[in-house]
Homo-oligomer: A and B are copies of this chain.
């Protein structure tokens, strides 16, 4: 159950205190935001909004509280993933890799190991790789039973989700071709922001040297 933060901003005095309010850490959606997001998810069938949609959604939800594009992005990602995950556990009698959320227990020494064989270096990453184990994991085939259904029954259009989005019995949503797919080029850039955090006691000074020299020389065989 989601927290019923009526108006967000917990106002807890922990670290954020005055300055950034509640968003000192992670985004805490307001009930309205959640309601709308779910509506979009279930009633409009939006599962993986594209950048454009994300922007619009976040812009709209901004009325209800602080929110960013990435929040919307993650929300849909998580919601979808968890729904699927939950379903996997409930409907699948045999979970291939059932490992409960035992975060408090050290995992037993599993590790099939034999599968590793890192040495010898596999073929080029670009083509050869193909692992995706997860045996018994049909990408799409999950029946989605949306028991959500908002009380209000409006909003019918939704963007055709480009994907087939497991709508097995999810016929509730009606898809309308609404997007002209105006893809204005998004160029722009200026970010290049990266986090660093490097306070390692390891003597790496010489490392980059090694690395650099490594890359500098194309000496590959001959």
Residues of A participating in the B interface, judged by any CB pair closer than 8 Å: 1, 4-7, 19-25, 31-32, 35-36, 38-44, 46, 51-64, 66-70, 72-74, 83, 85-95, 98-104, 106-111, 113-114, 116, 118, 121-122, 124-126, 129, 133, 137-146, 148-152, 154-159, 168-170, 172, 176, 178-180, 182, 184-218, 220
Contact of A106 among B23, B88, B122, B157 (CB under 8 A): B23
Closest residue of chain B to A168 (Cβ to Cβ) is B189
The distance from the CB of A48 to the nearest CB of chain B, in whole angstroms, is 10
The distance from the CB of A12 to the nearest CB of chain B, in whole angstroms, is 12
Chain B residues with CB under 8 A of A187: 185, 187-189
In the complex the two chains form, is B54's CB within 8 Å of A125's CB? yes
In the complex the two chains form, is A100's CB within 8 Å of B190's CB? yes
Please tell me how many copies of the chain the complex holds: 2
In the complex the two chains form, is A204's CB within 8 Å of B24's CB? no
Chain B residues with CB under 8 A of A23: 106-107, 109-111
In the complex the two chains form, is B35's CB within 8 Å of A155's CB? no
The distance from the CB of A53 to the nearest CB of chain B, in whole angstroms, is 5
> Complex: how many Å from CA A194 to CA B104?
13
Closest residue of chain B to A177 (Cβ to Cβ) is B216
Once A90-B70, A159-B215 are accepted as A-B contacts, the answer to whether A192 and B150 lie under 8 Å apart by CB is no
